[in-house]
Structure 1
Amino acid sequence: MTETFNPSYHRQCGCKEPAFDEEGNPVLDRTGKQKMLRIGVSCPRLKADKKHGSWHLYFELEAGESNSRRRVRRGGFATKKAAERKAAELYREAVKGTDILSDSTVGEDLDAWIERKKRLARTTAHGYEEHIRLYLKPHLGHIKRRDLKLRHVEAMYAAIERENAERLLHHARIVELREARDAAHTAWVRAAGKTEERRSARRAYLDANAALREGSKGKRKITSVNTMHRINATLSSFLTSGIKRGDYTTNWAKMVELPPIKKPRALIWTPERVADWQRTGEKPSPVMVWTPEQTGEFLDFIATDRLAAMWHGFIFRGPRRGEMCALPKTEVGLSGPAQWFRISAQVVEVAYRLYDEAPKQDSVRTVSLDQYTGALWAAYAEARDQEREKWGEENAYVESDRFWVREDGTPLHPDWVSRRFNRLVELSGLPPVRLHDTRHLSAALALLGGAPMKVVQERLGHKSFQITSDTYTTVLPQLLTAEAETTSAVVPRPAQPGLAPTPEKRARGRRSAGSSGTDQATASEGEAGGKAPGVTRDAVTGAPNEGFERAA
């Protein structure tokens, strides 16, 4: 950008006057009405009234292709100072490389960007498309590329917050309608006979049910803080790509201040938390983990379930559900002394449709099986072959290369696996955990058993040691108790750990804690029987004793 920045400014208005041709005849439109033309800078009111009209700017950029002129025009400024500031801003953007003459909108650029993203993982692409469709285009799509600023992005998140408040009210209203419907149904059931009272109760129930259906229309989920951060990540990726292409100069998404993400911490189902859950029905955290004793109860409960071997695999080996559902028969070794399975594929679910995808490079791994779990897997494989023969007689068996299948050979859907696990947990009477929480449980059990963190990281398929340490290392009560005991044992104490000092021990402490004008006592003086006047202090608490110990 080497040309001289020499903008010009003028004031003009939108006033109009009747149009006449060269002969002085009125110019008419198609309807027969006289046309009106803008007066522009010639309006006589511009000189008489300084507040009439608005300021406009004009300057030229360096010539474009084929030596074409590139003119920059903007208008609608209340003062000349505002026009001057805008001209300087436009020129700075042009120097940075922004195409300030383009009329392309953010929405058009978003469509072109997602069209270029051909190599994205299917779930990532689906997330990008959802963010663009539900948030970015409705709030930013109409803005021209050259005009996008931080205030527009901040306004989008402010609008999302307002929508959340409205949705919360809608959800609360639906709860009220549902409670009214349930109460009406109860009244109908309790009404006796075919009396008018029963007919009236039935009509009230039908009206309440219809009100619930009508009130539930348009229900939308709350946009969480986590979702807003993901939306911002999508916008940041889009703007980064636009900067590389020269369409944008600033990544406004990186300047937005969003509420911090409160990552849920995995908690153990201690007896106190179980009692509170039984009383209130509420989980103390979205991520909960069983104790080893509770885990044993669940494994005993599902011992006769057809997929008991798979639940053992989830709990002790911690694979993701998409990895387990996609596990091929050829990637499971159960014949040798070392039993294993290799995760080299995964199933992803998008709008309940399944797609086979290769896992991330760090997630491709070989996982060893313990002897008991390996025996369960071998028993399942044998039962699966018997089912194949039974269903094959009726030509109803579905051939598949998957290790885990239904009785008829149909591959398992990840959502079905989650729902089945949740149902088994509910029937067991144990406090609730999610299927994905078994990864936390698997890591915690491994650490309790003394496994190195690096081994746990490789088994779970994490890219870095830090992810495993921060995310899946739920501390079991046994580890906390052991840590407390080992820390306390570092300091030598006269009393046994966990026992309060007896009166006899306190007396011995006083006799051995004679001081010489200070509050401190030495063991050597006590052993030698030395006494000195002064205040003595409790050997355990350090508090002054009752009375004074003086030399005989």
Structure 2
Amino acid sequence: MFKGYVHRLCGCRKPVLDDDGQPVLDKKGDPKTTVVGRTCPLLKKRDHGTWFYCVELPLGPKGARRRPRKGGFATKKKAEDAAQEVWDLAHAGVDVLSDETVEQYLTRWLGAKQSTKRSTNHSYDDYVHRIFVPHLGHHKLRDLRTRHIEDMYAAIRAENDRRRKNQQEAADAITAERAAHKAWKDALAPRDPQLKSAWHEAQNALKSALAKPRKPTGPGTQRRINAALSSALQSAQRQKLISDNWARYVELPSYRPPKPLLWTKSRVETWRATGEKPSPVMVWTAAQTGEFLDSVVPDRLYPLWHLVAFIGLRRGESCALPWSETDLDEAVIHVTEQIVAVSWEAYEDTPKNDRIRDISLDEDTTELLRWWRKAQRTEREDWEEKHRTDPEKYGPYVDSGRIFTKEDGSAYHPQFFSDRFERLYKKVGLPPVRLHDLRHGSASLALLAGVHIKVVQQRLGHSSIKVTADIYTSVAEEVEREAAAATLAVVPRSRKKQLPPEEAPLEGAGADGEESESEAADGTASGPTETAA
């Protein structure tokens, strides 16, 4: 049991009197007052005042007294329970006298992060300043509980409702702007000035609608937010600043990462009719991939598209891949780094999950890279000649050592690859995919070719086979058809096809579905009549 006491106090005040019993005045001439305290006669009433606790903890440095106090409890029992909790936390090593707020702690925690990647730190910094501090920052760290975190997610859900409303307003504003523009454009000369005014008003309304936040914080993002908060609180728990990681007990909406879907013929037809993608992650079929690659053979970065489609390199890995880590004699590339963009700033980093790996190359890919290396050397010679003749227009050649570079040898920003890829496939009229989805498709192509899934996992640099099987692969229709045919072929049959007769009714069932009398009598029924293949 805790050492200390609980008592009841009220806010009643009484005048301050001097030695003669006269009221003492302040500088303004008003009578001074003081708290009545425990001597208030009204404290005898059960509904007067509130309960306080005072806990006596072991002495601190230099014999300083350590006495946590808190009031405002409706009953004596609640004050005693709270005092007992403080006593237990103190003896568990928690600093119950700390006044550090959640904001102060999270700021200190961010500054001490050393082991995470820059992109992860950037996400943590965003969550802390945009979400945690506004909703939780004012609480003392030692007073933080799960209910406070649940209130934060309730506010996020309410904000999501507002953002969905903003989405609809933006969609309506786009429709209105297009209608107003069409009305002005289709009007016969001389055009009514009011039509142009209406169009300008619609443009302003659209601009205002698009300025509002419209992207909801989805279940996946909420889980990443909670993981960041849990990491911070886990660190606080290890430091004995709190007794538990309260973020672990928050119930979040269920979430399953979207699985890649194949752009089948029916899905393509639906997309062309409605403009809607069946899934956020879509993968081209082998035929669609071939159509894209055939169309981009003249493109300067054709070797890049070839590597992503067949080898499955990530965008940042392709951007960072140097010639020094590419052995064309041994037909192997060593993936040792990637270029990552955080707030558009590009920097070098290790591959995702720090999975440095070697990827063997086929003969065609090797020859393609040999050709590209020769073409890049020719580009360098041409650029250096231009620099000599016109140095103001053409700067010195940048020897970045990368495989995929600009004409002057400097490295690309990763986003350039995504933007150019989108422009190229749209020219051919192919259904939309992201550049990263082209990497997903390489897994499907490998499975279609009969490559073992363990090999696919290692080539793509996934952390486990489960990731490869459950998330990042979309098995092509050809593989499914072959699997279905192979399953049927396991069972030996006397004829290739087993079909019921077209004219005669099936034996063993009448019009009402009942068994025939003869079959019911002997308990047997004949199978369907065999027909020739």
Counterparts of 1:62 and 1:507, CA distance in 2: 91
* Amino acid in structure 2 at the alignment position of 1:412: Y
Greater shift after overlay, 352-361 or 129-138? 352-361
Identical amino acids, percent of aligned pairs: 44
Displacement, 1:21?
4.2
Residues 1:271 and 1:214: Cα distance change in structure 2 (over 3 Å): closer
Greater shift after overlay, 392-401 or 472-481? 392-401
Kept after mapping to 1: 8 A contact 2:24/2:31: yes
| 1:341 matched to 2:338 | no
1:45 to 42, 59, 67: 42
- Equivalent pairs counted in the alignment come to 514
Greater shift after overlay, 467-476 or 438-447? 467-476
The aligned residue for residue 546 of structure 1 is none
Q: Which has the higher contact order (CA 8 A, sep 6+)?
A: 2
Kept after mapping to 2: 8 A contact 1:362/1:461: no
Counterparts of 2:449 and 2:355, CA distance in 1: 23
1:540 to 502, 505, 528: 528
Kept after mapping to 2: 8 A contact 1:444/1:473: yes
Counterparts of 2:259 and 2:348, CA distance in 1: 31
The aligned residue for residue 142 of structure 1 is 138
Displacement, 1:154?
1.1
The aligned residue for residue 8 of structure 1 is 5
| 1:116 matched to 2:120 | no
Counterparts of 2:502 and 2:218, CA distance in 1: 59
Displacement, 1:537?
3.2
Segments of structure 1 that go 5 or more residues without pairing to the other structure are 510-516, 521-532, 543-552
Residues 1:296 and 1:151: Cα distance change in structure 2 (over 3 Å): same
The aligned residue for residue 79 of structure 1 is 75
Greater shift after overlay, 14-23 or 59-68? 14-23
SS of residue paired to 2:8: strand
SS of residue paired to 1:17: strand
SS of residue paired to 2:333: strand
Residues 1:280 and 1:41: Cα distance change in structure 2 (over 3 Å): same
Displacement, 1:254?
1.3
Displacement, 1:541?
8.2
Counterparts of 1:479 and 1:23, CA distance in 2: 103
Counterparts of 1:20 and 1:130, CA distance in 2: 57
SS of residue paired to 1:393: helix
The aligned residue for residue 434 of structure 2 is 434
| 1:256 matched to 2:270 | no
Kept after mapping to 2: 8 A contact 1:362/1:463: no
TM-score by length of 2: 0.90
Displacement, 1:204?
0.9
Kept after mapping to 2: 8 A contact 1:457/1:465: yes
Displacement, 1:29?
4.3
The aligned residue for residue 406 of structure 1 is 406
Q: Deviations over 1:370-404 (max 9, x none)?
A: 22222222222222222222222233233322111
Q: Deviations over 1:174-226 (max 9, x none)?
A: 2222221221111111122234x1x1111111112122223333425210111
| 1:500 matched to 2:488 | no
Displacement, 1:288?
1.2
Counterparts of 1:182 and 1:36, CA distance in 2: 70
1:287 to 271, 275, 281: 281
SS of residue paired to 2:308: helix
| 1:306 matched to 2:300 | yes
1:203 to 191, 197, 203: 197
Report matched runs for 1:165-314 at 5 Å.
Answer: 165-195=161-191, 197=192, 199-314=193-308
Q: Deviations over 1:329-368 (max 9, x none)?
A: 211223x2x4222111111110010011122575211212
* Amino acid in structure 1 at the alignment position of 2:364: Y
Residues 1:115 and 1:31: Cα distance change in structure 2 (over 3 Å): farther
The aligned residue for residue 161 of structure 1 is 157
SS of residue paired to 1:63: coil
Kept after mapping to 1: 8 A contact 2:501/2:529: no
The aligned residue for residue 523 of structure 1 is none
The aligned residue for residue 547 of structure 1 is none
Residues 1:75 and 1:508: Cα distance change in structure 2 (over 3 Å): closer
Kept after mapping to 1: 8 A contact 2:499/2:529: no
Kept after mapping to 1: 8 A contact 2:3/2:57: no
Kept after mapping to 2: 8 A contact 1:315/1:439: yes
Q: Deviations over 1:447-493 (max 9, x none)?
A: 11111222112111123232222222321111111111111122223
| 1:330 matched to 2:319 | no
Kept after mapping to 1: 8 A contact 2:334/2:356: yes
Displacement, 1:308?
0.7
The aligned residue for residue 512 of structure 1 is none
Kept after mapping to 2: 8 A contact 1:495/1:501: no
Displacement, 1:536?
6.4
Displacement, 1:164?
0.5
Counterparts of 1:508 and 1:16, CA distance in 2: 100
The aligned residue for residue 513 of structure 2 is none
SS of residue paired to 2:56: strand
| 1:70 matched to 2:66 | yes
| 1:357 matched to 2:357 | no
Kept after mapping to 2: 8 A contact 1:506/1:538: no
Segments of structure 2 that go 5 or more residues without pairing to the other structure are 388-394, 509-516
The aligned residue for residue 386 of structure 1 is 378
SS of residue paired to 2:180: helix
Counterparts of 2:270 and 2:211, CA distance in 1: 35
Residues 1:115 and 1:362: Cα distance change in structure 2 (over 3 Å): closer
Counterparts of 2:201 and 2:31, CA distance in 1: 60
Kept after mapping to 1: 8 A contact 2:507/2:528: no
Kept after mapping to 2: 8 A contact 1:56/1:76: yes
Counterparts of 1:390 and 1:493, CA distance in 2: 70
Kindly report the root-mean-square deviation, in angstroms, between the aligned alpha carbons of the 2 structures. Answer: 2.6
* Amino acid in structure 2 at the alignment position of 1:439: R
Kept after mapping to 1: 8 A contact 2:257/2:471: no
* Amino acid in structure 2 at the alignment position of 1:224: G
The aligned residue for residue 526 of structure 1 is none
Displacement, 1:506?
11
